[in-house]
Protein backbone atom coordinates (compact mmCIF):
# COMPACT_ATOMS: atom_id res chain seq x y z
CA UNK A 1 0.00 0.00 0.00
CA UNK A 2 1.49 3.33 -1.05
CA UNK A 3 2.61 5.84 1.51
CA UNK A 4 0.75 9.14 1.39
CA UNK A 5 2.98 12.24 1.47
CA UNK A 6 1.93 15.78 2.27
CA UNK A 7 4.44 18.60 1.77
CA UNK A 8 3.88 21.51 4.13
CA UNK A 9 4.31 24.92 2.44
CA UNK A 10 4.30 26.88 5.67
CA UNK A 11 4.85 26.04 9.30
CA UNK A 12 1.98 23.81 10.33
CA UNK A 13 0.07 24.11 13.56
CA UNK A 14 0.16 20.77 15.32
CA UNK A 15 -3.15 19.82 16.83
CA UNK A 16 -2.62 19.53 20.60
CA UNK A 17 -3.42 16.27 22.31
CA UNK A 18 -6.94 16.49 23.76
CA UNK A 19 -7.27 16.78 27.51
CA UNK A 20 -9.55 14.61 29.57
CA UNK A 21 -12.73 16.49 30.57
CA UNK A 22 -12.40 18.03 34.00
CA UNK A 23 -16.08 17.87 34.81
CA UNK A 24 -18.27 14.88 34.17
CA UNK A 25 -21.96 14.34 34.70
CA UNK A 26 -23.50 11.98 37.23
CA UNK A 27 -21.88 8.58 37.15
CA UNK A 28 -19.51 9.60 34.37
CA UNK A 29 -22.01 10.65 31.71
CA UNK A 30 -19.29 10.93 29.05
CA UNK A 31 -20.10 7.38 28.02
CA UNK A 32 -23.41 5.63 27.41
CA UNK A 33 -22.03 2.28 28.57
CA UNK A 34 -22.61 2.44 32.31
CA UNK A 35 -21.46 -0.55 34.31
CA UNK A 36 -23.18 -1.46 37.56
CA UNK A 37 -20.93 -2.71 40.32
CA UNK A 38 -20.49 -2.45 44.08
CA UNK A 39 -17.79 0.12 44.90
CA UNK A 40 -15.05 -1.12 47.20
CA UNK A 41 -15.12 0.18 50.76
CA UNK A 42 -12.56 2.86 51.60
CA UNK A 43 -11.43 4.19 54.96
CA UNK A 44 -12.14 7.85 54.22
CA UNK A 45 -15.58 8.87 53.11
CA UNK A 46 -14.71 12.00 51.13
CA UNK A 47 -11.15 11.19 50.05
CA UNK A 48 -9.38 8.41 48.17
CA UNK A 49 -11.42 5.95 46.15
CA UNK A 50 -14.96 7.17 46.80
CA UNK A 51 -17.83 5.31 45.14
CA UNK A 52 -18.35 8.21 42.71
CA UNK A 53 -14.66 8.24 41.83
CA UNK A 54 -14.71 4.48 41.17
CA UNK A 55 -17.73 4.87 38.88
CA UNK A 56 -16.05 7.75 37.06
CA UNK A 57 -12.95 5.64 36.53
CA UNK A 58 -14.92 2.64 35.25
CA UNK A 59 -17.09 4.68 32.89
CA UNK A 60 -14.05 6.43 31.38
CA UNK A 61 -12.22 3.11 31.05
CA UNK A 62 -15.19 1.64 29.17
CA UNK A 63 -15.00 4.56 26.74
CA UNK A 64 -11.25 4.76 26.10
CA UNK A 65 -9.71 1.47 27.25
CA UNK A 66 -6.89 3.56 28.73
CA UNK A 67 -6.16 3.19 32.44
CA UNK A 68 -4.15 6.42 32.31
CA UNK A 69 -7.04 8.44 30.86
CA UNK A 70 -9.50 6.83 33.29
CA UNK A 71 -7.24 7.75 36.20
CA UNK A 72 -6.94 11.31 34.90
CA UNK A 73 -10.74 11.57 34.75
CA UNK A 74 -10.99 10.24 38.31
CA UNK A 75 -8.11 12.39 39.54
CA UNK A 76 -5.98 9.54 40.90
CA UNK A 77 -2.60 7.98 40.14
CA UNK A 78 -2.49 4.83 38.01
CA UNK A 79 -0.60 3.00 40.76
CA UNK A 80 -3.53 3.66 43.09
CA UNK A 81 -5.96 2.10 40.59
CA UNK A 82 -3.89 -1.07 40.26
CA UNK A 83 -3.55 -1.25 44.04
CA UNK A 84 -7.33 -1.07 44.50
CA UNK A 85 -7.90 -3.68 41.80
CA UNK A 86 -5.77 -6.18 43.74
CA UNK A 87 -7.18 -5.23 47.15
CA UNK A 88 -9.15 -7.80 49.14
CA UNK A 89 -12.82 -6.78 49.15
CA UNK A 90 -12.60 -4.95 45.82
CA UNK A 91 -13.56 -7.94 43.68
CA UNK A 92 -16.60 -6.12 42.25
CA UNK A 93 -14.37 -3.22 41.17
CA UNK A 94 -11.98 -5.66 39.49
CA UNK A 95 -14.85 -7.36 37.62
CA UNK A 96 -16.19 -3.97 36.51
CA UNK A 97 -12.67 -3.11 35.29
CA UNK A 98 -12.62 -6.29 33.16
CA UNK A 99 -16.09 -5.55 31.77
CA UNK A 100 -15.04 -2.00 30.91
CA UNK A 101 -12.10 -3.25 28.86
CA UNK A 102 -14.43 -5.53 26.91
CA UNK A 103 -16.70 -2.58 26.13
CA UNK A 104 -13.69 -0.48 25.13
CA UNK A 105 -12.99 -2.82 22.22
CA UNK A 106 -15.81 -1.05 20.36
CA UNK A 107 -13.68 2.09 20.07
CA UNK A 108 -10.50 0.06 19.67
CA UNK A 109 -11.90 -1.71 16.62
CA UNK A 110 -12.76 1.62 14.99
CA UNK A 111 -9.25 2.94 15.68
CA UNK A 112 -7.71 -0.25 14.27
CA UNK A 113 -9.64 0.14 11.00
CA UNK A 114 -8.58 3.78 10.75
CA UNK A 115 -4.92 2.87 11.33
CA UNK A 116 -5.14 0.06 8.76
CA UNK A 117 -6.67 2.26 6.04
CA UNK A 118 -5.32 5.74 6.77
CA UNK A 119 -2.23 4.83 8.73
CA UNK A 120 -0.26 6.59 11.41
CA UNK A 121 1.22 10.04 10.87
CA UNK A 122 4.95 10.71 10.64
CA UNK A 123 6.22 14.28 10.59
CA UNK A 124 9.63 15.52 9.46
CA UNK A 125 11.10 18.83 10.57
CA UNK A 126 13.90 21.03 9.24
CA UNK A 127 15.25 23.94 11.22
CA UNK A 128 12.36 23.61 13.61
CA UNK A 129 9.70 23.75 10.86
CA UNK A 130 7.45 20.96 9.66
CA UNK A 131 8.31 20.27 6.00
CA UNK A 132 6.83 16.84 5.25
CA UNK A 133 3.96 14.89 6.72
CA UNK A 134 3.17 11.37 5.63
CA UNK A 135 0.63 8.75 6.60
CA UNK A 136 1.73 5.13 6.66
CA UNK A 137 -1.14 2.60 6.35
CA UNK A 138 -0.67 -0.78 8.00
CA UNK A 139 -0.95 -3.70 5.58
CA UNK A 140 -0.40 -6.14 8.43
CA UNK A 141 -3.25 -4.71 10.52
CA UNK A 142 -5.59 -4.63 7.52
CA UNK A 143 -4.79 -8.27 6.71
CA UNK A 144 -5.36 -9.25 10.35
CA UNK A 145 -8.77 -7.55 10.46
CA UNK A 146 -9.88 -9.06 7.15
CA UNK A 147 -8.81 -12.56 8.18
CA UNK A 148 -11.14 -12.39 11.18
CA UNK A 149 -14.07 -10.47 9.73
CA UNK A 150 -14.05 -12.21 6.32
CA UNK A 151 -12.68 -15.69 7.12
CA UNK A 152 -14.10 -17.34 4.00
CA UNK A 153 -11.89 -15.16 1.81
CA UNK A 154 -8.92 -14.26 3.97
CA UNK A 155 -8.98 -16.71 6.90
CA UNK A 156 -6.78 -19.68 7.66
CA UNK A 157 -7.94 -23.15 6.54
CA UNK A 158 -9.34 -23.79 10.03
CA UNK A 159 -11.14 -20.43 10.04
CA UNK A 160 -12.58 -21.09 6.59
CA UNK A 161 -13.84 -24.50 7.69
CA UNK A 162 -15.48 -22.97 10.76
CA UNK A 163 -17.08 -20.21 8.67
CA UNK A 164 -18.44 -22.78 6.21
CA UNK A 165 -20.00 -24.70 9.08
CA UNK A 166 -21.32 -21.69 11.01
CA UNK A 167 -22.12 -19.43 8.05
CA UNK A 168 -20.48 -16.42 6.45
CA UNK A 169 -20.30 -13.59 9.06
CA UNK A 170 -20.91 -11.03 6.31
CA UNK A 171 -24.13 -12.75 5.22
CA UNK A 172 -25.27 -12.91 8.85
CA UNK A 173 -24.54 -9.21 9.36
CA UNK A 174 -26.24 -8.29 6.08
CA UNK A 175 -29.37 -10.22 7.04
CA UNK A 176 -29.49 -8.80 10.56
CA UNK A 177 -28.86 -5.16 9.66
CA UNK A 178 -32.40 -4.14 8.50
CA UNK A 179 -33.99 -5.38 11.72
CA UNK A 180 -31.27 -3.80 13.84
CA UNK A 181 -31.77 -0.43 12.14
CA UNK A 182 -35.54 -0.71 12.56
CA UNK A 183 -35.16 -1.15 16.33
CA UNK A 184 -33.23 2.09 16.80
CA UNK A 185 -35.17 4.67 18.82
CA UNK A 186 -34.61 8.21 20.07
CA UNK A 187 -32.72 8.65 23.34
CA UNK A 188 -33.15 11.65 25.61
CA UNK A 189 -30.11 13.64 26.79
CA UNK A 190 -30.73 12.22 30.27
CA UNK A 191 -30.24 8.69 28.94
CA UNK A 192 -27.19 9.44 26.80
CA UNK A 193 -25.67 12.90 26.44
CA UNK A 194 -24.83 13.81 22.85
CA UNK A 195 -22.05 16.39 22.51
CA UNK A 196 -21.63 18.16 19.17
CA UNK A 197 -18.37 17.44 17.37
CA UNK A 198 -16.26 20.60 17.04
CA UNK A 199 -12.80 19.49 15.96
CA UNK A 200 -10.83 16.50 14.67
CA UNK A 201 -8.65 14.45 17.01
CA UNK A 202 -5.85 13.70 14.55
CA UNK A 203 -4.42 10.97 16.78
CA UNK A 204 -7.38 8.67 16.14
CA UNK A 205 -9.17 10.27 13.17
CA UNK A 206 -12.23 10.90 15.35
CA UNK A 207 -14.42 13.92 15.97
CA UNK A 208 -14.10 15.54 19.39
CA UNK A 209 -16.08 18.04 21.44
CA UNK A 210 -14.93 21.18 23.20
CA UNK A 211 -14.45 19.35 26.51
CA UNK A 212 -11.77 17.19 24.91
CA UNK A 213 -9.74 20.10 23.53
CA UNK A 214 -6.49 20.97 25.26
CA UNK A 215 -6.08 24.43 26.78
CA UNK A 216 -4.09 26.92 24.72
DSSP letters along 129-168, please?
A: EEEEEEEE--HHHHHHHHHHHSHHHHS-HHHHHHHHHH--
Instruction: Write down the pTM of the prediction.
Output: 0.60
Domain contains 60: yes
Q: What's the rounded Cα separation, in Å, for the pair 33 and 148?
A: 25
Q: What's the rounded Cα separation, in Å, for the pair 7 and 133?
A: 6
Cβ count within 10 A of residue 160: 15
Query: Which structural domain, as residue segments, surrounds residue 136?
Result: 4-149+185-212
Domain contains 169: no
Q: How many domains does the chain have?
A: 1
134-179, pLDDT tens digit by residue?
Answer: 888 899 999 999 988 888 889 899 988 988 898 888 888 889 889 9
48-82, pLDDT tens digit by residue?
Answer: 788 888 999 998 999 889 898 899 988 988 898 99
Domain contains 159: no
Domain contains 156: no
Amino acid sequence: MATKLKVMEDVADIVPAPAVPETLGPRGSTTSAEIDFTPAATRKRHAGWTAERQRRFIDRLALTGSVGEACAAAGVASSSAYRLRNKAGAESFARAWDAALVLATTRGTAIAWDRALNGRVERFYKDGELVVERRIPSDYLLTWLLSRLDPLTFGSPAAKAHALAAGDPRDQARSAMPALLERLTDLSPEECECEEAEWVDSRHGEMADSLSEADD
